A and B are shown apart, each in its own frame.
Chain A
Amino acid sequence: MSGTAGDTVSELMASLPPELKKVATDSHYERLAYTHDMSSLDGFLTSDWLKTLPDLVVLPRNVQQVAALLKWAAEHRVPVTPRGAGSTSLFQSVPAKGGVLLDLNCLNTIGPWNLERPSVQVGAGTIIYELQEEAKKRGLSLATFPSSAPVGTIGGWFNNGGRGYGSLQHGSLLNQVERLEVVLAGGEIVQCTHQSDPPIQWFFGSEGTLGVVTSLELKLEPKPTSEAHMAFGFSNIGELQRFLLKTIDGPFLPYNLTFVSATLGGQPIRRINWDAILPGTFLAVDFFGDADQVEQGVQRVRWLKLEHELHQLPKWQAEKFWADRFYNFRLQRTGPSLLGAETLMPLNKISSYVEGIGALATGSQKPMITFGYVTSRQEAYVTTMFWTDEARTVQYLLDLSLVNSIYRTAFKFGAKPLGIGLWNTPYLKYAYSASERRKIRERKERLDPSGIINPGKAHNPPVVLKPRLFGASMTALRIFRKILQRLGRVES
């Protein structure tokens, strides 16, 4: 990972205001820690054309320090990359142009609470799981939370388009945010509401490119007093989709629906490693609420089950599957590495998509697993993964072309990529319509005209990731992979 020469780094450090020097470092070892995220795409792949090594790391303790930093950054024209837990995988929170890495984890205060009109003010660096635990102690609950709650920060999740378990009933995190404190490029601190200018929604899913969120006021729900979990096995994904659509047809919605399809050539993949051993294609339905609501939900799904003559899995499996809701990445253990793609998929296309993935898996001789949870009556948050080995460079590079093939399969069925960051910049047009892209550009020009906040991402990709060049390289890799596969030179 390339960076700035040592002298310049020390000069930059020396130019920081004294109150920031106390919370900043130019240690090379520390800076290295921020040159990557969950994806294994660092090192040789990024070293020549990106500056992933930040020049400084700053760990602010309060909003004033964030404001002082952004003021200084504007004066010195230094890029600033905001980062929460770095639990994303598209380099959203990895610098593309060096500068300051702003680690927001110490902005983690929880409170004050408003127990009458349940809400809470939280620092952007608060870990979602910890917020949920504190809410529970007060008889409250977050309406929705991601499957990465034990690691993700609330600010990072908000900036990443916050969808989670419970979104089916409660919508995305945007619906829960009542007020947002943001530091804009230049250091101005603004308090945003849904009606303010700029409004909260501008920042939602903006991937840290418009400003630094320092705190959020969140609406909370009463803690549910009852819960139930059911799971059903299916012989094929088409059946699963039909049942899924029936389950959400009508006024009643379960709290969550998760589906998994782990098959290769019709055979269940046994190595998926979830503790609750489940069949290859299954759907889990989760209910939360008061006893009556939960009972009603369970009864309704029981009727549907009879109607569809479904095979219901034992209760313990459904409960264990829910208990493992944060542990999808157990898959890794059968690794050594994982690659994959995450998309927002129209619900009525899940079956076609999974079949498309089945064909891809068979063609590439790679077992693939697709799982997802429903986030609205229209869409599901869908992940498809396969195993690879990042230590074997050539094989790994070739496998990267499969990621592109997964995306292309998904786009064919109207899906959108989940997040852009750096690696999905070639897919920008699938994520946003032309008019949405124009609006986003206008906001950026208005709020950050010098392009200081998280530059080099999304709308301003490096040449290598310009869609045409990227598309051509992926096609070349795909063809090369196919040839080697025929020659028996790539492993499944």
Chain B
Amino acid sequence: MGVEKDFSFGKLHSEAFSCIQCGYCRRVCPVYRALGWESTSPRNKVYQLQNLLSTYPPLANLPEEFSQRFWQCTNCRRCTQVCPTHLDLMNLWQGVKHHLGKKGYEPASLRSTRERVKRNKNIFSLANENRSFWAMPLQGYPKVLKPENPDIAVFVGCVASFYPLVSGIPLALANVFLKAGVKAYFLGADEHCCGNPLTTAGDLATAEILAENNISKVRELGVDKLVFICPSCQSTWLEEYPRYNKGQLPFRLLHYTEYLADLVDQGGLDLKPYPRRVSYHDSCDLGRHLGIYEAPRRILRAIPELEFVELANHHQDSLCCGAGGNLYMVDQKLANKISQPRLDQIEESGIDTLVTACAECRQVFTLGLQDRKSPVRVLDIAELVAELIREG
């Protein structure tokens, strides 16, 4: 087995005891900021962990709140980013969840998601054969999704594949590729869940089975680029898959915005003007995790007459939409609460259009702004480009 992450108590102990309890992580943690109780802060999670690791056996007799607090996390990485002692908190959270899961301290919603992923190979209660239903309006469906000698393979991800509100994203991207003459192979039913809901919950063993399928299916295509729609899937591939593959993957992992930005730079996309005031939301996974900040902006700047403005927090300081780390599944009310400061910033910025590059963010902001009866239009970059691209 290639699953070799060190979640031993010794490792957790040495990491947890490197925390100086300075509290720098409190200011930036969206969960703490939304709830206000010290127990929800990353600092306190580490403190309680220190206590429970100091008992024998470690992590025995866990208070219910302990596991509750650990699952209330959007995986936004803000805590890791600001920690003065460079604690790898993401790894720590993952390690603790690994033990929590093993001991059965897991939210019911997450457990059923895990069961669904095992059964259906996706996070929904839907047959995996339906993964490409979003593509039905495409001319030439389904053949057009599987070109001979593809330039690239595309990994859509569960959310954009199945969730109606955001299934326009892969459709838009497929249209853009067709118009730009890119031979893009969409994996469809061969694509299994990337394993993100499992790996963030520390269940690496089940994730490995999914990963093996995905790696082999892409490898069979002989492409040198795998393009992602979902930044969380890409993060999971980047972070976890090399271990499953026992080495570097034989193809590059790219977000579709990087691919489109290169096309733009090479003059491969002819875009109509969009005379609106537009802003872009950096998602946690695409930004802080993958470090992709400029590609989406390069695309937007290439659109004639588009007035680009930054939101109050941007790049690495961007705010979380609230949906990451399975929180939308675990505690939707909290996720919605977390999204409020970002929704305020969007409304205060005076923009007409908010552009995202993550299906989950797109979904949260669409619903959140609808609730506020805001006139701001929310679009994924792929959708905006599809709307503006001229026939090649």
Contacts and interface: CB of A to CB of B under 8 A. Distances in A.
A103 B27 contact: no
Given A329-B85, A330-B84, A391-B17, A30 B23 contact: no
B85 A38 contact: no
B82 to A, nearest CB: 7
A86 B44 CA distance: 11
B20 A332 contact: yes
B206 interface: no
B7 interface: no
Interface stretch (B35-43, B112-120, B163-171, B230-238): B35-43
B47 to A, nearest CB: 7
A335 B36 contact: no
Given A33-B44, A103-B38, A333 B65 contact: no
B20 A329 contact: yes
A30 B84 contact: no
Given A332-B85, A333-B86, A29 B23 contact: no
B22 interface: yes
B125 interface: no
A86 B38 CA distance: 10
A455 B98 CA distance: 42
B214 to A, nearest CB: 36
B36 to A, nearest CB: 5
B345 interface: no
Contacts of B39: 27, 29-30, 32-33
A37 B22 CA distance: 8
B26 A33 contact: no
B21 interface: yes
Given A30-B65, A33-B44, A326-B84, A332 B18 contact: yes
A438 to B, nearest CB: 35
Contact of A330 (B17, B44, B66, B86): B86
Nearest to B48: A32
Contacts of A25: 37
Given A33-B38, A36-B47, A329 B84 contact: yes
Contacts of A28: 63
Interface string A412-437: 00000000000000000000000000
B17 A337 contact: yes
B139 interface: no
Contacts of B22: 38, 87, 148, 151, 329
Contact of B66 (A29, A150, A329): A29
B251 to A, nearest CB: 35
A327 B84 CA distance: 6
Given A59-B36, A103-B38, A327-B84, A27 B23 contact: no
A80 interface: no
Contacts of B63: 28-29
B23 A333 contact: no
B8 interface: no
Contacts of B20: 38, 329, 332, 337-338
B133 interface: no
A85 B23 contact: yes
B105 interface: no
B47 A33 contact: yes
B274 interface: no
A106 B85 contact: no
A106 B38 CA distance: 11
A100 to B, nearest CB: 14
A129 B39 CA distance: 22
B186 to A, nearest CB: 44
A319 interface: no
A30 B48 CA distance: 10
A364 B41 CA distance: 37
Interface in B22-77: 22-24, 26-27, 36-39, 41, 44, 47-48, 51, 54, 63, 65-66
Given A38-B21, A103-B38, A330-B85, 16 more contacts: A29-B48, A29-B63, A30-B65, A34-B38, A57-B37, A59-B36, A127-B27, A130-B27, A151-B26, A151-B27, A329-B20, A332-B18, A333-B18, A333-B85, A335-B85, A391-B54
Interface of B: 13-14, 17-18, 20-24, 26-27, 36-39, 41, 44, 47-48, 51, 54, 63, 65-66, 82, 84-86
User: What are the 8 tightest A-B residue pairs by CB atom distance, in nearest-first order?
Assistant: A29-B65, A33-B38, A151-B23, A33-B44, A332-B85, A329-B84, A33-B39, A332-B20
7 contacts: A27-B39, A29-B39, A33-B39, A87-B23, A326-B84, A333-B18, A391-B54
